[in-house]
Chains A and B, each alone.
Chain A
């Protein structure tokens, strides 16, 4: 199953530093709920029915609907929270694959999720005020 190393395992004294993980885990969990509850429907409608012409979602309809209150809700539940969910799993998945640069991976994963969030909110906000 494994590679062998001959060594004595040493137990280092524990440093009681509080992990920042509760913040990321909360975003991951909320995003996980969204991924499970909202995303299947979203893929069905925006990934299949709309491109295949089975529903009609015109520009003016979409524009009126997104640049309002529901657009903000949509951004949170369909883009931002699932984005942080994905970032969290990719980060831990890379740890599972023994990619060792933990600090750098953390910054890249959550940084990109944050960037996508800012971009979406920025578009929503400028669309609202124009």
Chain B
């Protein structure tokens, strides 16, 4: 006769590696909120100018700003984990040598930065 342990619903609280995993998975919760913000923005833009202004005011409410601050940190945490996983899932070889993981990670952060630069250029004309 053998016995077997089964995982309880709270298995992920029992080890730091699992807590970090669940935190990574939970980054999509504030992301979902921000996506809904964008969708409502698009909807307001479609409805007309007064609705668009209304959306801008709504986005400035303290609790919305607070959740979006959370979403901002969640997106950076997600990026940090995601960029590390990428070279392991899709290792890139150039001829005989494989591209070092930290080169790929740095390249991805460069992409994040260039999107920020692009947006700054779009909104402020020039840097």
Decide if B31 touches A39 in the complex (CB within 8 Å). yes
Decide if B25 touches A93 in the complex (CB within 8 Å). yes
Q: How far is the CB of A22 from chain B (nearest CB, A)?
A: 14
Interface residues of A in 39-57 (CB under 8 A from B): 39-52, 55, 57
| Contact bitstring B25-61, A, C-beta under 8 A = 1, else 0 | 1111101101111110111011001001100110110
B63 on the A face (CB < 8 A): no
- Number of B interface residues at 8 Å Cβ cutoff, please give it: 58
Decide if A40 touches B76 in the complex (CB within 8 Å). yes
Decide if A59 touches B116 in the complex (CB within 8 Å). no
Main secondary structure of the interface of B (DSSP, over half): helix
Q: B4, B45, B64, B79: which contacts A40 (Cβ < 8 A)?
A: B79
Instruction: List 10 contacting pairs A-B, 8 Å CB cutoff, sorted by A.
Output: A7-B3, A39-B31, A39-B75, A40-B75, A40-B76, A43-B68, A45-B119, A89-B28, A98-B9, A116-B36
Residues of B within 8 A of A (CB): 1-9, 11-12, 14, 22, 25-29, 31-32, 34-39, 41-43, 45-46, 49, 52-53, 56-57, 59-60, 64-65, 68-69, 71-72, 75-76, 78-79, 82-83, 108, 111-112, 115-116, 119, 123-124
